[in-house]
Amino acid sequence: MYQGTISGAFKNALDWLHALGSREPPFLHDEVIGLISAAGGTQGLQAINTMEFAVRALRGWAVPYVIPVAAAYRVVDSAGRLTDESVELQLRTLGAEVVRVATRFADDSTAQRARACEESAERVAVAG
């Protein structure tokens, strides 16, 4: 996080994801994403909100459970290890939630889901 939002370096990394636009499916289509911010202060949720907009724009799915780590310098030691058990538990919970949702996506092979996606694509093509 930088100046209340994502850093320029992180924004540049997101810009490189446009290279995935020509693959099939494009961008982060149906990828399940967990969002974490590490801030020096307490404004981490602002960065998460920005990242959520970016995930949606790139056709991914952000799980609703997010982790804004405030005053990150207090919970990570100089070797990069977590020193706060509550933050570790939150990160483990987020990881489990990403796996749970991704498994649901992978297990959903219903014809209705495929047909709903096709119908949406057709509506977008007609509208465009």
User: Could you read off the pLDDT of 40-59 as tens digits, one per residue?
Assistant: 877 888 999 999 999 999 98
Q: Where is average pLDDT lowest: 11-15, 61-65, 90-94? A: 11-15
From its phi and psi, is residue 3 left (phi > 0), alpha (psi between -120 and 50) or beta?
left
**Does the pLDDT of residue 111 top 60, yes or no?**
no
The domain 8-127 belongs to what CATH superfamily? Flavodoxin domain (3.40.50.360)
Query: Residues 108-124, buried b or exposed e (16+ Cβ, 10 A)?
Result: eeeeeeeeeeeeeeeee
**Does the pLDDT of residue 95 top 70, yes or no?**
yes
pTM (two decimals): 0.77
Task: Specify the pLDDT at position 26.
Answer: 84
